Amino acid sequence: MRRRNFFASALAPLAANAAQSNTPKFKLRYGPHPGMFRQSAGEDIIDQIKFSADQGFTAWEDNGAMRREPALQTSIGEALAKNGMLMGVFVSHADFNSNDFVSKTDRAYQDTLRQTMRTAVECAKRVGAKWTTVVPNSVNNRIDPGYQTANCITNLKVMCEICEPAGLVMVLEPLNWYANHPGLFLRSVPQAYAICKGVNSPSCKILNDLYHQQIDVGNLIPNLETAWDETPYIQVGDNPGRKEPTTGEINYHFIFKWLYERKFTGVVGMEHGNSKPGKEGEKAVIAAYRHCDNF
């Protein structure tokens, strides 16, 4: 029997239990995102937040939150607070078609970065967020990698000028080259760790997406261990396929147990798709997290 089919059948009772109002909370702060449970909860984001809370989830993330109307941002923040959920990341800076971030350090460009982060701070206040995702754009093959790194650090320091007073933390996300994002500047946790040490700010840390790191680097737990002091945020997705845990090669049961034993209190963002469509696919996602959280 294929592994994903086994979990879908064997863990179905767990998903049914998770639908009850007295569902126990997960041990870690796994964070679903808009659309993950739309077949069960409907299209309204507030209803999806309530549904997620009812299943035992205690976090939420929304990459597109900064593009939403301010009134909706406020409603999201209020719904999360009402349901005892911690807001995770939203994306504030990510341009996959430009290498400006590692090429430019002039005042005009840096003023655009400052304005972006001012907008991010206002969004964060409304949704109740502490973290925002930053992707330092693409590589510039006409500039030595050392100079690109220096430019990246310089620009991040400028952004920290806005973030630090507001208590907002940029989390840099390394993305894999081989399956999804060829040519981006930031690829690995070790690279992000060096950059964070260079910026030397409480507002510049690492988002370790284990799906991306499994593809580009591997060595998941040793890299978590080494970069632990700079890693307040984690995202997950199994590989291959970028679906829920138990559908690929990553042993998330072991990783989640390791995080729990390390007393990780940040968000574990569910940055993946559902392996199956419809309500049954959403039940399978919940069941997979129940299985991996059972330690």
How many whole angstroms separate alpha carbon 193 and alpha carbon 172? Answer: 9
**Residue 9 lies inside a defined structural domain of this protein:** no
Least confident of 17-21, 187-191, 233-237, 247-251: 17-21
Q: Residue 241 is which amino acid? A: G
Judged against a pLDDT cut of 80, whether residue 8 lies above it is answered with no
Integer Cα distance of 141 and 145 in angstroms: 8
Q: In this structure, is residue 23 part of a structural domain?
A: no
pLDDT at 9 over 80: no
pLDDT, position 21 = 53
- Provide the pLDDT for residue 16: 43
Residue pLDDT, tens place only, 29-38:
999 999 999 9
| 140 inside domain | yes
Q: pTM of the entire structure?
A: 0.92
Q: Quick check: is 145 in a domain?
A: yes
Mean pLDDT in the chain?
94
70 CB burial (10 A radius; 0-12, 13-18, 19+): exposed
Residues in the chain: 295
Q: How many domains does the chain have?
A: 1
For residue 133, list its beta bridge partners: 91, 171
Identify whether 57 is part of a domain.
Answer: yes
pLDDT of 10: 39
Residue % of the chain over a pLDDT of 90 = 93
Does 12 reside within a domain? no
Residue keyed to tokens 């049954």: 280
In a domain, 10, yes or no: no
The Cα-based distances of 282 to 10, 55, 197 in angstroms read 15, 11, 40
Query: How do residues 212-268 score in pLDDT, each as one tens digit?
Result: 999 999 999 999 999 999 999 999 999 999 999 999 999 999 999 999 999 999 999
At residue 5, does pLDDT exceed 50? no
Residue 22's pLDDT is what?
79
pLDDT at position 179 over 80: yes
Which of 224, 223, 213, 295 lies closest to 266, judged by CA?
224
State the first-to-last Cα distance of the chain, in angstroms, to the nearest integer.
Answer: 24
Flag whether 21 is in a domain.
Answer: no
How far from the centroid of its chain's Cα atoms is residue 176's Cα? 14
> Which CATH number fits the domain that encloses residue 225?
3.20.20.150
Residue 209 has pLDDT above 50, yes or no: yes
Write the pLDDT tens digit of every residue in 113-171: 999 999 999 999 999 999 999 999 999 999 999 999 999 999 999 999 999 999 999 99
Q: What is the pLDDT of residue 7?
A: 39
Strand partners, 182: none
Domain that holds residue 219: 29-292
Tell how strand 59-60 and strand 29-31 pair up.
unpaired
Q: Which pairing describes strands 131-135 and 169-172: parallel, antiparallel, or unpaired?
A: parallel
